[in-house]
Amino acid sequence: MQKHYFIKTYGCQMNVHESEKLAGMLRSLGYTETENMENADVIVFNTCCIRDAAEQKVLGNIGAVKKLKKLNPDLIIAVCGCMSQENGRAELFKQKYPHVSIVIGTHNLHKFKDYLIQYQQTKKKVFEIWQSEKDICEDVDMYRTSNNNAWVNIMYGCNNFCTYCIVPYVRGRERSRAMADIITEVKQLIAEGYKYITLLGQNVNSYGNDFKDGTNFAQLLTELAHLDGDFRIKFMTSHPKDLTTEVINAIATEPKLSKVIHLPVQSGSNKILKLMNRNYTVEHYKSLIKQIKDTVPNYFISTDIIVGFPHETEKDFMDTYNLVQEVNYGGVFGFMYSPRTGTIAEQMENQVPQDIKNARVNKLLSLSKEIIKEQNKQLVGKTLEALVETEDDNYYYATLDCGKNVIIDKTINLTLPTFKNVKIKAISGNKLIAEFI
Ligand code: SAH
Ligand code: SF4
Ligand code: F3S
């Protein structure tokens, strides 16, 4: 009888991509995907612990599948990802969630298949968390799930220890993948017809630092941008302290590099940036933005911001607010600071009350909404490149480099997917209406 898997993914693109690896391993064992958790023989929770809300969601969802295990004692429930790797969490799953059979961390995800087989053979629960990272494992089955976009890891881990952040504790130190391995993978993906290749790392700008031979991110980008084929390279995330002029120049001049730059600023106050251990100033950040605006055609800049970090006064917050207005971001991901166990900021005095965090994040997000509305208006009349992805009888559906959706009258015949220049004619809700030129 056909066996089914169901994977629930939380958190960032890194996790989305790792779920593709989990799916690959499950498929190599003969499982196929089900969209209905009730039909699954294996349920995997690929977890995130970046904020408390993420963890509460995970715990609630894992608690809720207890009834499925009761109905089907052969059901295998596995938990992996950042939350499993967090101090004390595996023990919590063991004690409080006895219906969970397999718990593994971030460093041994590539061995999930072995643990699953081991559990099936012995029926002994597997709680296996490695305390530190090992060498990068290149040899993992993968089942890609995001249409025309393919995710590619270029590095793992983070060395930055921003004082609020749990990631360095659950993802280990920075390890870059060999450039030759990345290029081989990207070439293969282009040959398979993927149009967007998105390079993933917690801080892509420090790619290659660990090789200590001068290899850097600008080099990698340039090599990839010179490959043959019809594709665009995207990447995330950039840390402002490591974004070099060389990288900005590559983005500005290489046609196959996406012009989307996600540059998390976190705060517009130097006092707060220092407390966050971000290692740049607002002035430096603004100089990067100026360089981008001066040199990159059709740039799209987005950011992450944390409000309510300890010691953040109304004045600090307004500095952030004013920076958002000044930079005129195409997108703002605003978060309320959430204390994470074991981080430096958790121990800081002057924690900001929840209602103030709420008010600040709402104020910031409504500003961002206004900015985006205005930017959409200004797109009317512009000619931009879009990836035309799907069609129906009357329209083509496309996405711009920045991810905005575009609807185009079907005046020509195209073989999809394909890149095409389109002229924006109007806006309808949050969709852009365009025509071919
Ligand atoms: N490596 C990336 C992304 C890290 S996580 C980077 O450095 O930009 C994504 C975002 O979550 C961060 O940019 C930050 O804005 C937010 N974040 C991280 N820890 C947080 C915390 N403890 N509370 C609230 N937001 C947090
Ligand atoms: Fe977290 Fe900072 Fe590393 Fe990003 S750079 S993952 S925010 S510690
Ligand atoms: Fe990503 Fe969450 Fe881990 S944001 S790196 S899945 S803690």
Each residue's pLDDT tens digit, 225-247: 999 999 999 999 999 999 999 99
Mutation pick for ligand 3 pocket among 15, 49, 80, 162 (CB with most ligand atoms within 8 Å)? 15
Average pLDDT over every residue of 324-352: 97
The verdict on 157 and 109 lying in the same domain is no
- Per-residue pLDDT tens digits for 381-401: 999 999 999 999 999 999 999
Burial class (CB in 10 A: 0-12, 13-18, 19+), 24: middle
Ligand 2: distance of its center to the CA of 168 in Å?
7
Q: Are 309 and 164 in contact (CB under 8 A)?
A: yes
Alpha-carbon distances of 104 from 98, 114, 437, rounded to whole Å: 15, 11, 52
Residue 133 pLDDT > 90: no
- Give me the number of domains the chain comprises: 3
Sheet bearing 4-9, strands edge to edge: 32-33, 4-9, 42-47, 76-81, 102-104, 126-128
The verdict on 397 and 295 lying in the same domain is no
Q: Is residue 329 in some structural domain?
A: yes
Ligand 1: distance of its center to the CA of 240 in Å?
14
Q: Is residue 325 in some structural domain?
A: yes
- Per-residue pLDDT tens digits for 84-130: 999 999 999 999 999 999 999 999 999 999 999 999 999 999 999 99
Residue nearest (by alpha carbon) to ligand 1 atom 2: 202
- Considering only CA atoms, give the Rg of the chain: 23
pLDDT of residue 1: 85
Mutation pick for ligand 3 pocket among 12, 58, 237 (CB with most ligand atoms within 8 Å)? 12
Q: How far apart are CA 308 and CA 245, in angstroms?
A: 32
Find the CATH number of the domain harbouring 409: 2.40.50.140
Q: Cis omega before residue 237 (within 30°)?
A: yes
pLDDT of residue 80: 97
Ligand 3: distance of its center to the CA of 52 in Å?
12
Full residue range of the structural domain in which residue 120 is found: 3-128
Torsion of Cα atoms, 129 then 132 then 133 then 134, to 10° = -90
- Per-residue pLDDT tens digits for 140-170: 889 998 889 999 999 999 999 999 999 999 9
- Please report which confidence band the pLDDT of residue 132 belongs to, taking 50, 70 and 90 as the band edges: confident
Residue 331 pLDDT > 90: yes
Confidence (pTM): 0.96
Q: How far apart are CA 104 and CA 82, in angstroms?
A: 10
Q: Which ligand is nearest to the CA of 106?
A: 3
90: which 2 tokens?
Answer: 């595996």
Q: Is 304 in the pocket of ligand 1 (CB under 6 A)?
A: yes
Q: Is residue 141 in some structural domain?
A: no
pLDDT of residue 73: 95
9: which 2 tokens?
Answer: 């993914």
Q: Is residue 247 in some structural domain?
A: yes
Taken in order 248, 151, 133, 105, the sign of the CA dihedral is positive
Q: Is 368 in the pocket of ligand 1 (CB under 6 A)?
A: no
Element (H, E) at 194: none
Q: Which residues line ligand 3 (CB under 6 A)?
A: 11-12, 14-15, 48-50, 82, 166-167, 170-171
Ligand 3: distance of its center to the CA of 123 in Å?
30
The verdict on 167 and 302 lying in the same domain is yes
Q: Is residue 91 in some structural domain?
A: yes
Residue 138 pLDDT > 90: no
Q: How far apart are CA 132 and CA 129, in angstroms?
A: 9
The verdict on 337 and 397 lying in the same domain is no
Q: Which residues line ligand 2 (CB under 6 A)?
A: 158, 160-162, 165, 167-168, 202-203, 239
201: which 2 tokens?
Answer: 């790392």
pLDDT of residue 135: 79
Mutation pick for ligand 1 pocket among 165, 236, 351, 352 (CB with most ligand atoms within 8 Å)? 165
Residue 136 pLDDT > 90: no
pLDDT of residue 164: 98
- Per-residue pLDDT tens digits for 180-192: 999 999 999 999 9
Mutation pick for ligand 2 pocket among 13, 158, 175, 242 (CB with most ligand atoms within 8 Å)? 158
**Last residue within a domain, chosen from 62, 94, 128:** 128
The verdict on 206 and 95 lying in the same domain is no
Q: Which amino acid is at 303?
A: T
Burial class (CB in 10 A: 0-12, 13-18, 19+), 318: middle
The verdict on 336 and 397 lying in the same domain is no
Q: What is the 8-class DSSP label of residue 401?
A: T
pLDDT of residue 382: 97
The verdict on 245 and 229 lying in the same domain is yes
* Nearest partner of 148 among 364, 411, 390, judged by Cα: 390
Provide the mean pLDDT of the chain: 96
Q: How far apart are CA 212 and CA 206, in angstroms?
A: 11
The verdict on 217 and 178 lying in the same domain is yes
Ligand 1: distance of its center to the CA of 165 in Å?
6
| Strand, coil or helix: 82 | helix
Taken in order 244, 246, 252, 255, the sign of the CA dihedral is negative
- Per-residue pLDDT tens digits for 28-73: 999 999 999 999 999 999 999 999 999 999 999 999 999 999 999 9
- Per-residue pLDDT tens digits for 240-292: 999 999 999 999 999 999 999 999 999 999 999 999 999 999 999 999 999 99
The verdict on 374 and 387 lying in the same domain is no
Find the CATH number of the domain harbouring 161: 3.80.30.20
8: which 2 tokens?
Answer: 């629930």
The verdict on 182 and 73 lying in the same domain is no
The verdict on 168 and 282 lying in the same domain is yes
Q: Is 169 in the pocket of ligand 1 (CB under 6 A)?
A: no
pLDDT of residue 400: 97
The verdict on 190 and 322 lying in the same domain is yes
pLDDT of residue 430: 82
Q: Which ligand is nearest to the CA of 306?
A: 1
Find the CATH number of the domain harbouring 108: 3.40.50.12160
Residue nearest (by alpha carbon) to ligand 3 atom 5: 167
